[in-house]
Structure 1
C-alpha cells in the first residue's frame, strides 16, 4: 500500500510539472505573438491611392518601382508597409475619404495617384518620386544619412566623434559594402551631383547638400543640423 501511495504522489507531482510546463509554453507563445504584433505595428505606413479603371492594368507598378529604387535600402533598419488602394473601387474610395478626413487633406482637382506619408500628401508620380526619399527619412525622424566602411581609417577615427554627437539627432549609419548600400550611395552620388573628387567615405547626405570626408563632417555637421534647414527631419 505504501508503494502504491508513493507512486500516486509521483504521478500527481509529474502531472503538476507537465501542467506547469504547458502553462509556461503558453505564456512564452503569447509573449512572442505580442512581440510580433508590436513589431508589425511599428512599421511606417505608406499609403498610395490610384484611380485605375482598366481591369488588366496595374495601377501600383510605377509606385512600387519608385519605392524599390528610393527607400528599399532602409527597410531593414526602418521598416515600412505599403498600403495601396484603388479609388475607382468602392473600398479604395472609402479609404481615401477616411484618410483625407483624418489628416485634413484636400484633393479638389481629383489628381491621382496620391501618396500619403506621415500625414503629408504628394500628388502625381513626378512629385512622389521627387520627394519619396526625403519624406521617408523625415517620417523616420532621421536627420542625416552617414556612409562608412569598417576598414576605412578616417571612418575608424570618427568613432569618438559619433559617440559624443548629440543624441537628439538620429543619424542613419550605413556600411557602404553591406547588402545594397553600395548601389544606394552610387544613386545618391548621382542624385546629389557629387563630383568624382568628393565621392568617398566617410560621407554624409543632408537635405539638398552633403559633407565629404572626416574633416568636413566633424567641422560642419552639428552646426548644419542645428540650423535646421539641412536636416531631413525638423522638430
Structure 2
C-alpha cells in the first residue's frame, strides 16, 4: 500500500512539473510575455493641491502609451520636497554617476539611463523607452543566433496605398544595425506578405486585428504588424517602419495562423447600400435591347411551333442566370489575381478608356433612338454575332421532343449569354470591379452579390416571358422596348459615368 502511495505521489509531481515547465508555443501569447522596465521619477512639489504625479502619468502615456504593450512597467515617483525623496535622489545620483551640472529635477531614471530636466524628458523619453524595450527583445534571443525581424504585411489588389507600401518594402535593406545593442549586432529583415483577397488571409488578418486590439476605424489595409504594435496606413508605415526595425521591435513579432478556429465573420454579410446598387444595376442591364431581342426571337419561334413557351422561356432564363453567375465568378477571380502594380495601372487605364467610349456611344445611340434612326444605333450585337445566335436558336428549337427542347432551351440560354456578352457585359464588368472593392476575397459575400445581380438581370426576361405567355404579341412587346430605347441608352451612359468616376477616385 505504501509503495502505491509513493508511485501516485511521484506521478502527481511529474504531471505538475510537465504543466509548469512545458514551454508555451502559442505565438499569440508572445504579446503577453512581458519583460520589465523600471522607471523612477523625481520631482519637486511643495504644493499639496498640485497633482504633479498625475501630470507626469498623463505626459508619460501621451509619449509612450502606444508602446507599452509587451512590457511590464514598474513606476515609482518621489517628491524631493520631502526628506525621504531627497535622500533617495542622492543615492540615485551616486549610483548612476550623474554629474553635478545634470543634478536637477525633474529627473527620470529608466533602467540604466536617466533623463535630466523637463525638456530632455519630453524630447528623449520615447527613444530611450524604445531602446530599453528593444534590449528586452534581444535578451530573449539565444546568443549566436541570427537576430530576425519579422514584418507581417497585409494588402489587397487595386489599392494605391498598398502599391506604395510594396515599393517601401522592396527598398528595405537586408539587415539593419540595432540601435540599442552595444555589441554591434544586426537584425535581418523578413517580410511576410498576405493578400486578403484570398479567403484564408482575410481570416488571418482578422485574427491579427483581435490579438493586437486594432480599433475598427484602423482595421484596413495596408497594415503592418511588427513586434507588439501595428502600423495602419501608408503614412504610419512610411514614417515609422524603419525606426521600429532598428529599435528591435520586430524581434518579437508573433506569427499567427488560422488553424485554431474558423472565423464566424467569414459568413455572408451584405451592406444595404451595396445590395440596392447591385440589384438596380442588374435590373437596368436586364433591359438591354441586345438581351431582350434574343429572347423575343426565341419566343417567336416557340410560338410558331405551338410549344408551351412558359416552361421553355424559364429554362432559357435559368441558363442565362447560370452562365452570368459563372462568368462573374471567373472574371472576379481573374481580377483578383492581378497583383502586380503596373498591371493594375494598365487595367485601370483600359477600364477608363472603355468606359469613356461606351458613354459616348450610348449618348450617340440616345440621340439616334430619339430621332427613330434605329439603323444608326451602334451599341448592339455585331451582325456576325446576331447571325450566330439566330443560328443556334433555330437549331435548338427545331426538335419535336419536349424533353430535348427543355434541355435545349436551358443550353441555349448559356450559349446565347456568351455570344451577347460583348453587348451586355460592359455593365457586368463594372459591377464585378465594384464588388471587388466591397469584398476583397471570393467568399460568400462576393458570391451573394453575383447571385443578386444575375437574379435582377433575368427579371425583365421572366416578365416578358410571362406577358407573352398571357397572350401579348411578340411584335407589341418588341415595339414597346423600341419606344423605351432612348431612356435605356441614357441610363446606360449615366451608369458608366458613375462607374468611371468611381474607378478614377478609388482605384
User: TM-score with structure 2 length normalisation?
Assistant: 0.28
Quick one: structure 1 residues 88 and 28, their matched pair in 2 at CA, closer, same or farther if it must change by over 3 Å?
Answer: farther
* Alpha-carbon separation, structure 1, partners of 2:104 and 2:8: 63
Deviation at 1:63, TM superposition (A): 1.5
Of 135, 138, 141 in structure 1, the residue corresponding to residue 131 of structure 2 is: 138
Which residue does 1:90 correspond to in 2? 83
- Cα distance in 1 for residues equivalent to 2:13 and 2:171: 49
Distance verdict in 2 for CA 1:67–1:21, change over 3 Å: farther
Cα distance in structure 2, aligned partners of 1:55 and 1:85: 14
What is the CA-CA distance between 1:156 and the residue it aligns to?
A: 6.9
For 1:170-220, what per-residue CA distance to the aligned partner results, in whole angstroms no more than 9, with x for missing partners? Answer: 98x9x997436989xxxxxxxxxxxxxx953642438xxx89xxxxxxxxx
Query: Cα distance 1:85–1:203, how it changes in 2: closer, same or farther (>3 A)?
Result: same
Q: Is the 8 A contact 2:103 2:116 kept in 1?
A: no
Residue 42 (structure 2) pairs with residue 43 (structure 1): no
Q: Which range moved further: 19-28 or 71-80? A: 19-28
Partner of 1:203: 238
1:70-89 aligned at under 5 Å gives the runs 70-89=63-82
Counterpart of 2:175? 165
Do the aligned partners of 1:46 and 1:115 also contact (CA within 8 Å) in 2? Answer: yes
Structure 1 counterpart SS, 2:57: helix
1:113 partnered with 2:106: yes
Whichever structure has more strand as a proportion of its residues is 1
Structure with more helix by fraction = 2
What does the per-residue CA deviation read over 1:138-163, in whole Å, with 9 as the maximum and x for residues that have no partner? 33348xxx997523555578778879
2:10 equivalent in structure 1: 20
Q: Would you say how many aligned residue pairs link Structure 1 and Structure 2?
A: 178
CA distance in 2, matches of 1:204, 1:60: 32
RMSD: 4.7
| Equivalence for 2:97 | 104
SS in 1 for 2:42: strand
Match of 2:58, SS?
helix
Give structure 2 stretches of 5+ with no counterpart: 23-32, 136-149, 157-161, 177-184, 192-204, 219-232, 249-507
Aligned ranges 1:29-40 → 2 under 5 Å: none
Structure exhibiting the larger radius of gyration computed from Cα positions: 2
Structure 1 segments unaligned to the other structure (5+ residues): 1-10, 33-38, 184-197, 212-220, 226-230
Contact 1:141 1:170 in 2 (8 A): no
SS at match of 1:112: coil
Which stretch shifts more, 23-32 or 117-126? 23-32
